[in-house]
């Protein structure tokens, strides 16, 4: 199975040993960040640094001034990697080590955009704004995301792209000094707290025959037993989550919200994939980070399996859970695969962040039996030496023996 490791440009720029070290893991590809959200990252082997602080969402290449001239929403260039084109420099070094380079593009997740342009953010049923979550129903946001996707995905020396957050983002968000865990939010509450009531979404609900004021009030009422503790979070199961949403909100209202959001997400994804394909030309692979639960939000956006695999080249799917969770994630897509469709099982391999590099060989074999065609490894730059050695051993064990 083809394997790719996620990498940041700052893992490579300034470290001449990084490309060979990554290639020696046994991967054939790297998924290299070209547009990424804010983060604080460890670089445990870099000769000049140990911590990189990416202060805001940014592109890791010089954005085209002609493309963005006169526009309010535009990408922010990075200032924490000492390179004019950090992505391009890293991509060239990785290619020279024999690795295929695919871009890693984060779309609907940008806290700085939301702070500077509050109108663009998802606004929940209480009126609270999520600056990290641009509302993908808004035409201005959609136009920005389409152009960002094309520019960030189709970089020189790049063979394909993987689009993260290509859909709805919501309440879930890793945040500095986070204090929202006092009341556990299960999947149903996460969905209700992620519903957007910006002007565009209110018009969307109205277009489906719903009174947006009444719907907003109904969502707040549905959440009352969550805040009071009368309703405990249910199992982290997609079907059970949606059944709980229907219990809390009612079948008709729940269906109306999902109808609007699914329609927006499908159009958003189709427009972006089409634009990237037109900008890249033939042979350029386009994958989306996704989840089979259409109501789910975040980095792995909920998708309609049949629709997304009718136009994208494939998906990167979260496989961090056990065997049952891998089956729940991979199996819904099997009936909708076309010849050449990629289903990439994404495994975290950083033990300190909850990954399981020492069970990787068995996990990959199980995923392959469920229909996975490729492997993604998160993350070659963040992992310890021991984690990387476990990955190297696992990929070696999975490689066919030439004497057999």
pLDDT score recorded for residue 321: 87
In a domain, 258, yes or no: no
Per-residue tokens: 280? 């890249």
pLDDT score recorded for residue 235: 73
In a domain, 17, yes or no: yes
In a domain, 296, yes or no: yes
404 three-state secondary structure: coil
Instruction: Compute, in degrees rounded to 10, the torsion defined by CA atoms 245, 290, 378, 163.
Output: -130
Q: Which of 224, 221, 220, 248 is nearest to 234 (CA)?
A: 248
In a domain, 239, yes or no: no
In a domain, 42, yes or no: yes
pLDDT score recorded for residue 209: 97
Quote the CA–CA distance of 367 and 91 in Å, as a whole number: 29
pLDDT score recorded for residue 295: 97
In a domain, 50, yes or no: yes
Instruction: Compute, in degrees rounded to 10, the torsion defined by CA atoms 274, 277, 283, 285.
Output: -70
- pTM of structure: 0.96
Alpha helix positions (H), 212-250: 212-228, 238-249
Q: Tens digits of per-residue pLDDT, 163-214?
A: 999 999 999 987 777 777 788 899 999 999 999 999 999 999 999 999 999 9
Quote the CA–CA distance of 76 and 51 in Å, as a whole number: 21
Return the CATH number at 269. Answer: 3.20.20.80
In a domain, 208, yes or no: no
Q: Are strands 160-164 and 285-291 parallel, antiparallel or unpaired?
A: parallel
Asked whether 335 and 341 are in contact (CB, 8 A), the reply is no
pLDDT score recorded for residue 92: 98
pLDDT score recorded for residue 184: 85
> In the chain, which residues have pLDDT < 50?
404
pLDDT score recorded for residue 404: 47
% of the chain beyond a pLDDT of 90: 91
Instruction: Tell me the β-bridge partners of 32.
Output: 7, 103
Instruction: Tell me the β-bridge partners of 53.
Output: 40
Distances (CA, A) of 312 to 240, 259, 286: 28, 21, 6
Q: Give the structural domain span for 151.
A: 2-179+263-398
Q: Tens digits of per-residue pLDDT, 269-299?
A: 999 999 999 999 889 999 999 999 999 999 9
Please tell me the total count of domains within the chain. Answer: 1
pLDDT score recorded for residue 179: 76
pLDDT score recorded for residue 183: 86
Asked whether 202 and 132 are in contact (CB, 8 A), the reply is no
In a domain, 370, yes or no: yes
How far out from the chain centre does Cα 249 lie?
28
């Amino acid at each position: 199975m083809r394997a790719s490791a996620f990498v940041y440009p700052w893992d490579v720029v300034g470290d001449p040993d990084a490309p060979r070290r990554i290639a020696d893991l046994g991967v054939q590809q790297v998924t290299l960040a070209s547009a990424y959200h804010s983060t604080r990252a460890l670089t445990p082997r870099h000769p000049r640094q140990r911590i990189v602080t990416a202060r805001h969402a940014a592109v890791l290449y010089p954005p085209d001034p002609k493309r963005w001239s006169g526009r309010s929403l535009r990408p922010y260039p990075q200032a924490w990697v000492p390179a004019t084109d950090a992505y391009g420099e890293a991509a060239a070094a990785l290619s020279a080590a024999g690795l295929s380079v695919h871009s890693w593009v984060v779309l609907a997740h940008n806290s700085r955009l939301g702070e500077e342009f509050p109108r663009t953010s998802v606004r929940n049923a209480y009126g609270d704004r999520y600056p990290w979550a641009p509302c993908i129903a808004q035409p201005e946001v959609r136009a920005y995301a389409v152009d960002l996707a094309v520019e960030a995905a189709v970089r020189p020396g790049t063979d394909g792209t993987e689009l993260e957050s290509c859909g709805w983002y919501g309440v879930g968000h890793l945040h500095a000094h986070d204090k929202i865990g006092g009341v556990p939010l299960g999947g149903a509450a996460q969905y209700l707290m992620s519903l957007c009531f910006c002007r565009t979404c209110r018009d969307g609900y109205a277009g489906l025959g719903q009174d947006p004021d009444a719907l907003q009030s109904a969502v707040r009422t549905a959440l009352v037993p969550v805040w009071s503790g009368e309703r405990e979070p249910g199992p982290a199961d997609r079907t059970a989550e949606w059944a709980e949403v229907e219990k809390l909100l009612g079948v008709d209202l729940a269906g109306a919200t999902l109808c609007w959001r699914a329609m927006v997400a499908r159009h958003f994804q189709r427009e972006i994939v089409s634009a990237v394909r037109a900008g890249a030309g033939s042979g350029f692979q386009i994958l989306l980070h996704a989840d089979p639960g259409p109501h789910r939000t975040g980095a792995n956006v909920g998708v309609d399996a049949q629709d997304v695999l009718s136009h994208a080249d494939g998906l990167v799917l979260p496989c961090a859970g056990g065997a049952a969770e891998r089956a729940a994630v991979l199996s819904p897509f099997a009936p909708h695969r076309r010849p050449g469709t990629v289903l990439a099982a994404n495994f975290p391999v950083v033990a300190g962040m909850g990954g399981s590099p020492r069970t990787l060989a068995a996990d990959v074999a199980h995923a392959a039996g469920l229909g996975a065609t490729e492997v993604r490894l998160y993350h070659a730059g963040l992992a310890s030496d021991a984690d990387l050695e476990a990955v190297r051993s696992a990929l070696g064990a999975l490689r066919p023996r030439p004497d057999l």
